[in-house]
Every structure is written in structure tokens, then in C-alpha cells.
Amino acid sequence: MIEFLTNFLSTYGFLIVSMTFSAMLALSLYLPLMTGQLSLASPGFYALGGYIAAWMSTELYPPLATGTTFPIPSLFVEMLIAAVACAILALLVGVPALRLRGIYLALATIAFVEVLRVLSLNLDVTGKAIGIFNIPQPFVTKIEYLYISLPMLIVCIIFMYRLERSRVGRAFRALREDELAATAMGINPTYYKVLAFMMGAILAGMVGAVSAHFLNTWNARQGTFDLSILVLAYVIIGGSRTFWGSIVGGMLLTALPEVLRAVAGIQGLPPFLTGFLTEGRLIIYGFLIALGTLFFPQGLITPEFLRRFARPPKASTPTKSKPLQTPST
């Protein structure tokens, strides 16, 4: 049993931590979406945070003696600096960009991500095309990154839970439902939109900083437009009207390809099935996403879905079929 567990953790440790990162990245995109702003910029901040951590740990800090791990307080310093840098950049980008709406804002944020990518391809400090590698490791195994990522995720959940019920959260929601009406009630749209945008940027930057260590290397292929679309899919598939949707969507869609890989590896399956599962793993993945959007157009987790857990079910509420997912804390 213990052997099985160690084996499981050494194989899937990386995946489990990746899932928490994806959940937080989805949250970073969900935050501006709370105010009704479709911003795809968070991968850009993720990339920036990663570069800051990668550069600091390889160039700024003294090289580690062999056999020692990267000090965790230094990692926190990197995360802090990444957060500050992303907040400043988000402010600079957010104020002009958030004058745009809908599809135009989405385009502008895609352009922002692209600008950062081209910059990192051309600057010496970002290692140009090859990127920065040999990033020192704060932990010996990948699963230990959970010591950082899990508390981060829990803090995020508590923060989001409080935020959705606070004055700021209600202002966000008012802006999403009807910006004109919200403005008439005295809500400053620019202030709240930029605030949400900055919160998303800070979170993405901090995740990027840890990810740079986690991936061992950082380059211009991280945090590109592809990731923008992927993270958007996390939010849309998970459900874009409650933060639980982003978390579940991020975790589920990150795990799914690897779960399919594991299924294909089960001993004793007929060869044609193993072959199909190995070769067609991503076909099944795409198919499941398509099915998900067809049968859960509002996303897997909706506020109505959550309400069933909030109060004990009354006799009058008809109990529907058993829910597919239970959100985990």
C-alpha cells in the first residue's frame, strides 16, 4: 500500500501540483470576468512572473552548493516582486485597455500577450529563443510544491469566497450585469474594472513565479496565446458565474489528458482499445470537452448547482439526479 502510494505520488505529483496551478490561473482570468471584462491577459502576467523568478534565481542569487535546495524565503521574495511588477504593469495596461469592451478588449489583451512574447524572444535578459534554464529547485520532488501551491489555492478560495459576498464583489457583479445601471448607482466602473484586472494579474504573476521553478525552465513558449485559450476553456467549461467553476474547470481539464493516459496503460485491455486510448487520447479529450459544453452550457458548476449544498434540502425543492461533481476544498 505504501509502495503504491509513493509510486502514485512520484508519477502524479507533477500533475497534482499542475492542477492547483491551473485552478489559480483560471481564477486569474475569472477575476476580470467578474466585472464582465473578457480579458485574456493573465498568461502574459504569468509569463512575466515566471521570467522574474527565473532571472532572479539564476542570475541574482548566488549559485547553490551541490546537494542543497533553493531557499524557500527567496522563493517568497520572487513571488512578492512578481506580484508587485504585475500589479504595476496591470495598472499601466489596464487603465487604457479597459476602456475597450467585449471582443475589442479580448483582442487588445491578446495583443498584450503577444507583445510580451515577442519581447522575450528578443531580449538578452530573457534568454531569447532558448529561454532561461537550470532554474534551482526549492524541493527535491515535484509533489512537495504542494506545500506552496495548496496554501496559495486555499487562500485564493477563502479570498474569492469573501470577495463574492463583499461590497467590492457586489460592485463587480453589478458591473457585469449592467454597467450603465451600476454607474448610475454610483459605482466607479474604471476603478472596479482595473481593480479586478490587477487582482487577476497579481495572482497570475505569483503562479508564474512558482511555475518557473516547477518547470525547471522558462521560455517564450510559456504564457502564450495558446494558454490564453486553454485558461478561457477552464473558466467556460467549469462555469463562469462562480469561482468554483474556474477551480473545478482548471483541475479537471488539466487532469483529463493524464487520466486518459493512465487508462490506456491499464494492463489486460484488448490491444485495439489500448491502441485507441494511446493514439486517440487527445481526440477523446476534445470529444469530452465538446460533450461538456453541449450538456452543461452554463459550465459544470453553476450558482444554482452550489445552492443545493448551501442549505439542507427542503421538502419542496425537488431533488434532481445526483450531481456529477462535488467541489472539493
Alpha helix (H) residue ranges in the chain: 2-34, 42-55, 72-97, 102-122, 146-164, 167-177, 179-184, 189-215, 225-238, 243-264, 271-279, 281-295, 303-310
Strand partners for 69:
none
Least distance (Å) between residue 259 CB and another protein: 11
Could you tell me which stretch among 84-92, 177-185, 244-252, 264-272 binds another protein (CB under 8 A)?
264-272
**Interface with another protein, residue 166, by CB under 8 A:** no
Instruction: Decide: is 69 part of the binding site for another protein (CB under 8 A).
Output: no
Q: Give the total of residues touching another protein (CB under 8 A).
A: 37
Shorter beta-carbon distance to another protein: residue 66 or 319? 66
Answer for which of 68, 267, 319, 321 binds another protein (CB under 8 A) is: 267
Residues 6+ apart with CB under 8 A from 147: 139
Among 142, 193, 206, 249, binds another protein (CB under 8 A): 142
Q: Which residue has the cell 483560471?
A: 26
Which CB contacts under 8 angstroms, 24+ apart, belong to 60-69?
61/136, 64/136, 69/136, 69/137, 69/138, 69/139, 69/140
Query: What x-and-dash track marks residues 94-133 binding another protein by CB under 8 A?
Result: ------------------------x--xx-----xxxx-x
Q: Distance of CA 300 to CAs 160, 175, 236, Å?
A: 18, 24, 9
User: Whose Cβ is closer to another protein: residue 117's or residue 241's?
Assistant: 117
Question: CB of 19: closest distance to another protein in angstroms?
Answer: 11
Least Å from the CB of residue 129 to another protein: 3
Angle of the 2-34 helix axis to the 167-177 helix axis, nearest 10: 60
Q: Which is nearer to another protein, 128 or 308 (CB)?
A: 128
Contact predicate 209/47, CB 8 Å:
no
Q: Is residue 250 part of the contact set for another protein (CB under 8 A)?
A: no
Binding mask 209-248 for another protein (x = CB under 8 A): ------xxx-xxxx--------------------------
212, HSE (Cβ side, Cα atoms, 13 Å)? 34
Binder of another protein out of 10, 188, 190, 317 (CB under 8 A): 10
Decide whether 150 or 283 has the Cβ nearer to another protein: 283
Q: Find the part of the chain contacting another protein (CB under 8 A) among 10-18, 69-77, 78-86, 183-191.
A: 10-18
Pick the stretch among 27-35, 137-145, 242-250, 289-297 that binds another protein (CB under 8 A). Answer: 137-145
Closest to another protein by CB, 28 or 240? 28
| Span 11-30, contacts to another protein by CB under 8 A | 11-15, 18
CA distance linking residue 203 with residue 223, whole number of Å: 14
Contact 210, 79 (CB under 8 A): yes
Q: What is the DSSP string of 243-278?
A: HHHHHHHHHHHHHHHHHHHHHHT-TT--HHHHHHHH
Which residues sit at the interface with another protein, rule CB under 8 A?
7, 10-15, 18, 118, 121-122, 128-131, 133-134, 137, 140, 142, 215-217, 219-222, 258, 261-262, 265, 267-268, 278-279, 281-282
